Amino acid sequence: MKDTSCFITSPVLRRMAVVLAFLLFSAYPAWARPLVNSDIFVQVLQEAHALFAEDTEGVNADYIPELAKIPSELFGLALVTVDGRVFVAGDADYVFSIQSVSKPFTAALVLQEYDAPEILVERIGVEPTGLPFNSVLAVELHASRSVNPLVNAGAMAAVSLVPAEDKTERFLKIKQFYEAMAGQKLKVIKEVYRSEAATNQSNRAIANLLKKYGRIYADPEEALDVYTRQCAIGVSARVLAMMGATLANGGVNPISKKQVLEARYVPKVLALMLTAGFYDESGRWAYEVGLPAKTGVGGGIVAVVPGEMAVAAFSPRLNQAGNSVRAMRAIEYVSQRLGLGLFQ
């Protein structure tokens, strides 16, 4: 009889077996996996909230005047698992404007509407900029012009790609997609929209530059207005965590069980979030935390643990890069305590 012991002991095959086991576990239905004791999630969120509650570093965004009015002491955390369990701490239900946390979700909608994974690469770009999220210079420096969907230039290009007859239909498509991700109705915060619309000269310049280079696909003023409304949609840490958990769950909302985004597009969205979700701090976030995440100047951040959960946090005080100081530190703490980083 042929000796097969070498195949059993082969280091290469052992590694392949480990990889296969991991893939099988990842594909195993989330509802059928053993549930982690909920107490640990409650404990860790409470620890994170207590640890950073007195942190006063950073300042509210003031280039959108309405954001400067948000009480700086607000601080909320939320965690939603792919089996639909929800855990919160602090001001998790305070409604604030989604701002740039909206960008990966519009990119996801574009992927789904065109049913083409190459659409973002060809029509926008997917490379990080290494520059501020609202940089006009980035449009001139990068060959793709719009750079990626998670900076302002690429986000307006993504909005312009959403198929629609007019701006009303385009915004409605975006809003309804967000609502399906969140599993609930959402509203525009009108005061934030008006404030941002009155002070968005930089974004108007970017939109017109994209028009010059043929990298925006609707009227630039229309795309700018829809993008501004998109950024003013009201969410909470709880809502963001649910939207993130829908991504973590292969595009299926954990509560409604609706397949909102085709599973094959989820890795594309998460890759964008990991490489460009924190603007010019994205490399540091990936290095220290190792989770796909998206931040916004409204003070919100959502981080996704594929196949497991999403963690969201809100605090309006921002650092110089435009990222919420307390939200960032709190999510990093939760990730470390629960061992969530993808590279651990």
For residue 152, say whether it is annotated as part of any ligand binding site. yes
Q: What string of DSSP letters covers 111-151?
A: HHHHT-TTHHHHHT-----SS-TT-SHHHHHSTTSS--TTS
For residue 279, say whether it is annotated as part of any ligand binding site. yes
Q: Which residues pair with 295 in a beta bridge?
A: 301
* DSSP percent split of the chain into helix, strand, coil, nearest 5: 50, 10, 35
For residue 227, say whether it is annotated as part of any ligand binding site. yes
**286 CB-contact burial (10 Å; exposed 0-12 / middle 13-18 / buried 19+):** buried
For residue 196, say whether it is annotated as part of any ligand binding site. yes
Place of tokens 């940089």: 135
Task: State CA 163 to chain mean position distance.
Answer: 22
The answer to whether the CB of 178 falls within 8 A of the CB of 186 is: yes
- What whole-number distance in Å separates Cα of residue 211 and Cα of residue 60? 32
- What whole-number distance in Å separates Cα of residue 75 and Cα of residue 97? 14
The answer to whether the CB of 268 falls within 8 A of the CB of 67 is: no
Single-letter amino acid, residue 240: L
Q: Which residues pair with 102 in a beta bridge?
A: none
3-state secondary structure 19-84: HHHHHHHHHCCHHHCCCCCHHHHHHHHHHHHHHHCCCCCCECCCCCHHHHHCCCCCCEEEEEECCC
Q: Binding site: residue ranges? A: 100, 152, 196, 203, 227, 279, 297
The binding site for substrate consists of 100, 152, 196, 203, 227, 279, 297
